[in-house]
Structure 1
Amino acid sequence: MNLQQRLEILHQLRQYISEQPIEWQNACRQAEQLNNWFTQRFIQTAAEAVANNFLNNDLLRDWADHYHLDDNVTPKTVGIVMAGNIPLVGFHDFLCAFVSGHKQVCKLSSKDDVLLKHLVTKMTEWNPAVAERVQFNSMLKDCDAYIATGSDNSARYFDYYFGRYPSIIRKNRTSVGILTGSETENELSLLADDVMQYFGLGCRNITKLYVPNGYDFVPLLNALRKYSWMFDHHKYRNNYDYQLAIYLMNNIYYMTNDCVVLIENEQVFSPIGTLHYSYYEQQADVINSLKGNEQVQAIVGNDLIPFGQAQQPGLMDYADGVDVMAFLLGL
C-alpha cells in the first residue's frame, strides 16, 4: 500500500465509524460485555473523537505533509503494547505506524481487545494488503522497535525487555486543571467533561484542580452533576462508596454532590470517584511547579488547554510529549 492508499482507507474508516453500521454496534456491545467500564456512551465518545480528530482527511494530509511523508520508507516491524484504560486508547500509536509505512504487531490489553481488531478487520476487507501491515499477537518478538504503554510497574518490565531496542516506554500519567474562580457556567460544564468522561480513567482526565484561596466550590459541584448518571454504574458507585467511607472513618474534610467527592490533597492522582484540589496564591507559581512534572499529561485552564478539550487530542498531540511519528521515521 502506498501513502495515498493508506490515507484513503483511513478516510473510509472515518465514514464507517460515523455511519455506525450494525457490525460496529455489535462490536461496541461486545466490548462493553467484556469490560463494564466501557459503556456505550463512552465508547461512542471515544470513537467520535477518533473519527473527527484523527481520521479527518484534510487533517491527515496536513499531518503527512508536515513530516514530508512519501513511499520511500524502508518498512520496519514495530511492536506496540497498548493500554486498556479507555476505549481505543492505543489508536494513535496504531495510526502513526500505519501512516508512516511501517509494519506493526499490536499486543492489545485484555480490557480493550475488541474495538481496534474490529476496525482493522474492516480495513482488511476493503484492502487485503492491510493484513501485511497490521497484525495482533499476545507475544512481541523480533521487532525492530517498540512502543509500550502501561503503569509505572509495567514500565520497568518494558524497559528490561525492550530497552536495548529503539523504544518509547510510557508510565502512569494524569492531567490537572487550574481555575481562577471567574469561569463561566459553560466553562465549568466543559471542565466536568475533562474530569468525568471515561469515569476519570484516562491519562488526559483531570484528577487534580488548583483553585485560588477562598474559591467557591458550589458552581463547580453543580456543574459536575451533569454526570450524576454515573452513580447508577455499579463499578463507579462501589469506588465512590469505598472512598467516602475511608474519608468518614478518618474524619477527613470532604465535599460531595453525590456523584464525586472533592478532597484537599497535594497528590495529582486521585482515586476513582474522587477529585483532589489544592489552593494557590499565584497562578504562575502553580504553572512553574508543574513544568517538568513527568506525572502530568495535560494542563487545562485559561490560556492553557481549553476547557472541554483534554479528551480531544489532535494528531500532533503526542502522549508524554514524545513525537511518535518522528521516532518511527527515524528508525
Structure 2
Amino acid sequence: MDLQQRINAFSKLGEFLSQFSSEGIKKKDDIINNDLFFDGFKHQIKLTQEHNGWFTKENILFALDGWSNQLTNNNIKQWLSKYKFTTENLKNIAIIMAGNIPLVGFHDFLSVLISGQNVLVKQSSNDKHLLPYLAKYLEHVEPEFKGRISFTEGKLDNFDAVIATGSDNTARYFEYYFKNKPSIIRKNRNSVAVLTGNETENDLKALSEDIFRYYGLGCRNVSKLFVPEGYDFDNFFKGMYDWNPIINQAKYANNYDYNKAVYLMSEFEMLENGFLMVKEDDNFSSPIATVFYEHYKSKKQLTNILKEKAERIQCVVGNGILDNEIKFGQTQLPNLWEYADAIDTITFSLTIC
C-alpha cells in the first residue's frame, strides 16, 4: 500500500465523519460504505455516552467535527509534504491511549498508520467504542489496512516501539517498562492563557471555549491564567457567562460543589460566579470547575516563567504577547502538524530501526 492509498483512505474517513457534526447528525447520499456503517456509528456514539458521563453527545460531536475538518486530502498532503516516505519497512508500533476526551489518541493512531507502520492499540477503558469502529471503516475503504490494525485489552506483545500517554505516575512506570524500546512517553500537561486586561469581550468569550470544552479535562484546556498585577476579573467572568448552563451537568456540578467546599473549609481565597472558581495558585493543573491564576510583573518575567515551566505546558493562549501563542478559542482545534508535547510522531514512526 503506497502513501496515496493511505491518504485517500483517511480523507474518505473524514468524509464519513462529516455526517456527525456539532450541528447534528445528518446522513449524506454520497459517502462510501454508508449503508454498512452510518447507523452502526450512531449506535457507538450512544454507547460512548452511556459508558462515560463526561462524554456527552455535544462533546463527542465536537471531536468528530474537528477530525472531519482536518481529514481532507489537501490538509493531509500539506501535513506530510515535509517528510520523506520510502519503501515500507513495516514495524509494529504500540499506542497506549488516554481516555480523558473523546478520541484523544486518534492523532497517534493516524500518525502511525499514515507513515506506513502497523499499529497495536491499547485503549483506555473510558473511551473504547469509537476508534475500533472507525478502524473497521478504514479497512473497508482500504482493504490493505486489514491485518495492520490491532486492539488489545491485555498485555502488549510483539511490538517494536511504543507511544504511551498517561499521568506523571504512570509515565514513571512506562519509562521503566519500555526502557528497551524506542518510545514517546507523555506526562501531565496543561494549557495556560496570558491576559493583559486589554482583551475584548469576544476574546474572553473565545477563551471560555478553551476553558470549558470537554469540561476542562483535556491537556489543551486552559487551566491557568497569567494576569498582570491588579487585574480586575469582572470582565473575565462576563466573558465566561455563556457557559453557565454547564452547572446543570450533574458530574460537573458535583465537582464544583466539592471543590468549593474544600476551598471554603480551608479558608482559601477565591472568586466564583456560580459555575466557575478562580483561585491564585502556582500549580498548573487545576481541579474541575476551577481555574488557577498567577500574577506577572513584566513580559520578561512572564517569558522566564513559561520557559522554566515549558515541560508542564501544552499550549499558551494569548493575543500578541508571545511568538508561539495560540489565538483565543483555538486550543481544541489543532492542525494535523501541531503535535502533542511538540514531539513529531511522524518522524518517530519513520525512523524506527
TM range (shorter): over 0.9
Deviations, residues 13-36 of structure 1 (Å, cap 9, x unaligned): 111111234332221111111111
Deviations, residues 220-264 of structure 1 (Å, cap 9, x unaligned): 112212221211111111110001011111222211111111111
- SS state at 2:294 partner: strand
Q: Give the AA of the match of 2:345.
A: V
> Given the alignment of the two structures, is residue 25 of structure 1 paired with residue 46 of structure 2, yes or no?
no
- SS state at 2:143 partner: coil
- Call closer, same or farther: CA 1:288–1:56 in 2, change over 3 Å: farther
Match of 2:234 among 194, 202, 218: 218
> Given the alignment of the two structures, is residue 302 of structure 1 paired with residue 302 of structure 2, yes or no?
no
Superposed counterparts of 1:1-331, under 5 Å: 1-20=1-20, 21-53=38-70, 55-70=71-86, 72-138=87-153, 139-293=155-309, 294-303=311-320, 304-331=325-352
Deviations, residues 64-116 of structure 1 (Å, cap 9, x unaligned): 2210224x130100011010000010010001001000001000000001111
Structure 2 unaligned spans of 5+: 21-37
Q: TM-score, normalised by structure 2?
A: 0.91
- SS state at 1:279 partner: strand
Q: Contact 1:225–1:259 (CA<8 Å) still a contact in 2?
A: no
> For 1:125 and 1:292, how far apart are their aligned partners in 2?
48
Moved over 6 A (4+): none
Per-residue deviation at 1:155?
0.8
Q: Give the AA of the match of 1:192.
A: S
Q: Contact 2:190–2:219 (CA<8 Å) still a contact in 1?
A: yes
> Number of aligned pairs?
329
- SS state at 2:327 partner: coil
- Call closer, same or farther: CA 1:243–1:324 in 2, change over 3 Å: same
Deviations, residues 289-321 of structure 1 (Å, cap 9, x unaligned): 111421111111023211111111111111111
Per-residue deviation at 1:142?
2.0
- SS state at 2:316 partner: strand
Per-residue deviation at 1:127?
2.8
> For 1:284 and 1:210, how far apart are their aligned partners in 2?
13
Q: Contact 1:73–1:329 (CA<8 Å) still a contact in 2?
A: no
Q: Which position in structure 1 is the counterpart of 2:33?
A: none
Q: Contact 1:300–1:306 (CA<8 Å) still a contact in 2?
A: yes
> For 1:292 and 1:64, how far apart are their aligned partners in 2?
32
> For 2:232 and 2:335, how far apart are their aligned partners in 1?
33
- SS state at 1:98 partner: helix
> For 1:300 and 1:19, how far apart are their aligned partners in 2?
30
Which shows bigger deviation, 224-233 or 84-93? 224-233
> For 1:46 and 1:288, how far apart are their aligned partners in 2?
34
Q: Give the AA of the match of 1:34.
A: H
Q: Give the AA of the match of 1:201.
A: L
- SS state at 1:78 partner: strand
- Call closer, same or farther: CA 1:121–1:292 in 2, change over 3 Å: farther
Q: Contact 1:46–1:88 (CA<8 Å) still a contact in 2?
A: yes
- SS state at 1:297 partner: strand
Which shows bigger deviation, 7-16 or 220-229? 220-229
> For 1:305 and 1:33, how far apart are their aligned partners in 2?
34
Deviations, residues 123-151 of structure 1 (Å, cap 9, x unaligned): 12223322222111122112111000001
Which shows bigger deviation, 104-113 or 114-123? 114-123
Which shows bigger deviation, 6-15 or 250-259? 250-259
> For 2:333 and 2:285, how far apart are their aligned partners in 1?
20
Percent of residue pairs identical? 42
- SS state at 2:252 partner: helix
Per-residue deviation at 1:51?
1.6
> For 2:278 and 2:49, how far apart are their aligned partners in 1?
28
Q: Contact 1:222–1:257 (CA<8 Å) still a contact in 2?
A: no
Q: TM-score, normalised by structure 1?
A: 0.96
